[in-house]
Structure formats: structure tokens, C-alpha cells
């Protein structure tokens, strides 16, 4: 009963080592530097490559690891929790110094994280949280604060309420395009936005409906709002894609997006930034996938035995059309 699993694990580890060797030799000039024993080894398990945002996230982590002199063992879970658990087990086998991962789902991590804890390998969560009773299973969670993103969008609207009242009737009529019902970003961004606009009684959300985070969904819901709601001043879309769909619906109705109806979105992906620079979107709150540098920094601190906060918020900014025009050329995603 003992030998079999051990053998299997050894084979897994050996094949993993072989694959890593292949990966390292593929890097060319870096391979000689990575032979040093003192180099920090990080195992990173990514959700998958389901969107441009995620791809940018992966690229950022790879680039920052290289810049910080980490040896990165990268594994793509292709959206499956079992792949991710396998990857983490293999990282433990290989005795990496630190494990970081973006959990595919929230639950079911206790066992494998216990194994990591017993092996004395610190774990850092990125982008998504896990749902567990035992918070000692991971050192810190680095990711966006979706409530804060909603608040930033709401604050901008409160500050620009006079401009945003396009039809000049004294009320700022907002329609909201929600993300996928039940998704954390959708719930939190709506909550933060509602909280922020409370300070101005003139601003009210007159209609709100899910557009499933897609352009097609955003377009169809906006088409309906344009017909059923009178005097829409502002659209708040939970992501850029729905905002881009709304732009097309507004144009088809004979209005000018960004002027006749103001648009606020969250994310700041390249297509959204291009629309912002053109003035079709008025304000974008960034949801930053480029958390590589912060992750390496945190990993260094954890390994040096420094105290790190249990929750670290990704450095995120906001963009106006002028700022978007400046950074658009360098936008990676």
C-alpha cells in the first residue's frame, strides 16, 4: 500500500522536472543563471487563458518573475480545479520556495493547502479568494477590490454630476449594465457604486439589468433601455465589453455616445481604452491584471519572514479620455 503511490508521485515529479528542464533550456541565455542554489523558485498555477485580461495577467507574472530573478514554474489549469490541485501537489514535491495561484473556484482547497503548510511552503492567492475556515492556510490574498472599483465609478459621477445631467432636467438618470448574475465582480461593483452615489440625491439608478459581461448582452439590454427609459443621462457598465455593446446601441438610436449619454465602465482593456480615447466612453476604472511586480514583492517579504497583511489590493488607477490617449499606445491587453 505504500510503495505504489510513492512510485507514482516520483514519476510525476520526475516528468515535471524534465518538463521544467526543457522549459529552462528553451530560455537560452537565462539557463546558466538559474543553476544557482540561492535562486527563489515560485510555483504558479493559473486559471487558464479564457480572456485577454487573463493572458495579460499571465504575461505580467512571467515578466516580473524574470525581472526579480525568480525561477517560475508555471502551470495552466485550463479552468479545472483538479488540474490546479495536481499542479500544487507537484510544486510541493519539487520543494519550491513559494506557491502562488489563482483559484478556479472558491471551495475545496483545504486538503491540498494543508499539505503545502505541512511542507512549510507559503501560499499566496492572486486575483481570486478561497473560501476556507482556516486562514492560516495562505499568507495573503493579492487582488482587486471590486467594491472599491464600483465606488470609484460612483465618485466620479458625483463629482461630475452637473456635466452628467445631459438633458438638464436636474436629475441624473443612470442605467446599469450588470455583470453575470451572482459573479463577485458584478455584485461588488453594483454595491460600491450604489454606496458612492448615495451622497447625491439627484443621481439615481432608474434601470438595471444583466448583460452577462458580453458585448452582445450589453448591446441588447441597452437597446431595450433606450426604448423604455426616458432621459437616460449615464450608463454604468460593469465591464468594458458591455460598455462597447452599449455604444453600438446608442449610435443606432441616433445619439452620440459620450456626449448625449455619458458612459462609465470598469476594466480598461485595450478596446475599451481606444473608445475612451475617442470620447465614446467618459471614464474607466481600471481592474489591473498586471500584478506581477506586487506578487514578487510579496513573495520576497513572505520568504524573509516579514509580516504581510492578509489582504493586499492591486494597485489600480482610473482613466479619463486624455489619460487614455496617452497610454493607449503602450497598452498590452
Partner 1 sequence: MTDTLTPPEAGRRTASPVRGPRLVARLLASPLLWPVMALVVLLVVNVVATPSFLDVRLQDGHLYGNVVDIARNSAPVLLVALGMTLVIATRGIDLSVGAIAAIAGAVACTRIVGAGDEGAAATAIMACTVALAICVLLGLWNGFLVSVVGIQPIIATLVLMVAGRGLAMLVTDGQITTVNNDTFSNLASGFVLGLPLAFLVAVAMVAVTGVLTRRTALGMLIEAVGINPEASRLAGVRSRTIIWTVYVFGAVCAGLAGVIIAANTNSVNANSLGLWIELDAILAVVIGGTALTGGRFSLLGTVVGALFITTLARTIPNIGIPSEANYLFKAMVVVAVCLIQSPRARAVLRVRRTAPVARKGNPA
Instruction: Specify the residue for cell string 447625491.
Output: 200
Could you say whether residue 208 binds partner 1 (CB under 8 A)?
yes
* Helix residue ranges per DSSP H, 107-214: 110-118, 146-159, 161-164, 184-197
Question: Any contact of residue 163 with partner 1 (CB under 8 A)?
Answer: no
For the beta carbon of residue 73, count every other beta carbon within 10 angstroms.
23
In angstroms, give the least distance from the CB of 232 to partner 1. 13
CB atoms within 10 A of CB 254: 8
Question: What is the C-alpha separation between 273 and 287, in angstroms, rounded?
Answer: 12
What H or E segment, with its residue span, contains residue 169?
Answer: none
Cell digits for 92?
Answer: 510541493
83 makes contact with partner 1 (CB under 8 A): no
Distance, in Å, from the CA atom of 96 to the CA atom of 236, rounded to the nearest integer, reads 44
Q: Contacting partner 1 (CB under 8 A), which of 110, 223, 260, 293?
A: 223
Nearer to partner 1, 111 or 227 (CB): 227
Among 29, 227, 304, 305, the residue binding partner 1 under the rule CB under 8 A is 227
In the complex, least distance from residue 255 CB atom to partner 1, rounded to whole angstroms: 10
Please tell me the distance from the alpha carbon of residue 148 to that of residue 285, in angstroms, as a whole number.
10
Smallest gap from Cβ 169 to partner 1, in A, equals: 18
User: What CA–CA distance (Å, rounded) separates 326 from 333?
Assistant: 15
Q: Is residue 228 close enough to count as binding partner 1 by CB under 8 A?
A: yes
Judged by beta carbon, residue 28 or residue 182, the one nearer partner 1 is 182
What is the β-pairing status of strands 283-286 and 318-319?
antiparallel
Residue list 261-320, contact with partner 1 (CB under 8 A): 271
Q: Is 181 in the site for partner 1 (CB under 8 A)?
A: yes
How many residues form the binding site for partner 1 (CB under 8 A)? Answer: 35
- Which position among 21, 49, 67, 327 is part of the footprint of partner 1 (CB under 8 A)? 49
User: CA-to-CA distance for 125 and 137, rounded, in angstroms?
Assistant: 10
**Residue 188 in contact with partner 1, rule: CB under 8 A:** no
Q: Which is nearer to partner 1, 48 or 69 (CB)?
A: 48
Residue 184 touches partner 1, criterion: CB under 8 A? no
Among 252, 256, 259, 322, binds partner 1 (CB under 8 A): 252
> Which of 12, 34, 55, 94 is in the footprint of partner 1 by CB under 8 A?
55
Task: Pick the closer one to partner 1 by CB: 152 or 215.
Answer: 215
Query: Rounded to an integer, what distance in angstroms lies between the CA atom of residue 58 and that of residue 289?
Result: 8
253 binds partner 1 (CB under 8 A): yes
150 exposure class (CB count in 10 Å sphere: 0-12, 13-18, 19+): buried
- HEC string of 263-323 equals EEEEECCHHHHHHHHCCCCCEEEECCCCCHHHHHHHHHHHHCCCCCCCEEECCCCEECHHH
What is the 3-state composition of the chain as percent helix, strand, coil, each rounded to the nearest 5?
Answer: 50, 20, 35
Nearer to partner 1, 34 or 220 (CB): 220
Of residues 12, 51, 300, 318, which one binds partner 1 by CB under 8 A? Answer: 51
* Range in contact with partner 1 (rule: CB under 8 A) among 117-125, 204-212, 259-267, 312-320: 204-212
Contact with partner 1 (CB under 8 A) among 57, 126, 210, 265: 210
Q: Does residue 52 touch partner 1 according to CB under 8 A?
A: yes
Interface segment toward partner 1; rule CB under 8 A; list 82-90, 158-166, 177-185, 260-268: 177-185
Which residues bind to partner 1, rule: CB under 8 A?
49-52, 54-55, 178, 181-182, 207-210, 212-217, 219-221, 223-225, 227-228, 241, 244-245, 248, 252-254, 271
Amino acid at each position: 500500500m505504500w510503495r505504489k503511490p510513492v512510485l507514482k508521485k516520483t514519476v510525476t515529479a520526475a516528468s515535471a522536472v524534465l518538463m521544467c528542464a526543457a522549459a529552462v533550456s528553451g530560455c537560452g541565455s537565462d539557463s546558466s543563471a538559474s543553476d544557482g542554489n540561492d535562486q527563489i523558485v515560485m510555483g504558479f498555477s493559473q486559471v487558464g487563458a479564457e480572456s485577454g485580461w487573463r493572458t495579460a495577467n499571465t504575461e505580467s507574472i512571467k515578466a516580473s518573475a524574470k525581472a526579480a530573478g525568480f525561477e517560475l514554474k508555471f502551470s495552466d489549469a485550463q479552468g479545472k480545479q483538479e488540474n490546479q490541485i495536481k499542479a500544487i501537489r507537484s510544486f510541493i514535491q519539487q520543494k519550491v520556495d513559494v506557491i502562488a495561484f489563482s483559484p478556479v473556484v472558491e471551495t475545496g482547497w483545504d486538503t491540498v493547502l494543508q499539505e503545502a503548510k505541512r511542507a512549510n511552503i507559503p501560499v499566496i492567492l492572486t486575483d481570486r479568494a478561497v473560501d476556507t475556515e482556516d486562514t492560516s492556510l495562505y499568507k495573503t490574498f493579492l487582488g482587486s477590490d471590486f467594491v472599491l472599483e464600483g465606488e470609484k465609478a460612483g465618485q466620479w459621477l458625483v463629482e461630475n454630476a452637473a456635466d452628467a445631467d445631459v438633458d438638464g432636467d436636474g436629475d441624473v438618470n443612470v442605467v446599469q449594465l450588470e455583470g453575470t448574475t451572482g459573479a463577485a465582480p458584478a455584485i461588488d461593483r453594483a454595491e460600491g457604486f450604489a454606496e458612492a452615489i448615495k451622497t447625491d440625491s439627484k443621481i439615481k439608478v432608474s434601470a438595471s439589468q444583466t448583460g452577462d459581461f458580453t458585448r452582445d448582452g450589453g448591446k441588447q439590454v441597452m437597446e431595450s433601455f433606450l426604448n423604455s427609459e426616458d432621459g437616460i443621462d449615464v450608463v454604468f457598465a460593469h465591464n468594458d465589453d458591455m460598455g462597447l455593446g452599449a455604444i453600438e446601441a446608442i449610435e443606432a438610436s441616433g445619439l452620440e455616445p459620450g456626449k448625449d449619454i455619458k458612459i462609465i465602465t470598469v476594466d480598461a482593456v485595450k478596446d475599451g481604452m481606444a473608445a475612451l480615447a475617442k470620447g465614446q466612453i467618459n471614464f474607466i476604472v481600471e481592474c489591473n491584471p498586471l500584478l506581477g511586480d506586487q506578487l514578487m514583492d510579496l513573495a520576497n517579504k513572505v520568504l524573509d519572514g516579514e509580516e504581510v497583511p492578509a489582504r493586499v489590493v492591486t494597485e489600480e488607477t482610473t482613466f479619463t479620455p486624455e489619460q487614455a490617449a496617452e497610454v493607449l499606445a503602450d497598452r498590452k491587453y
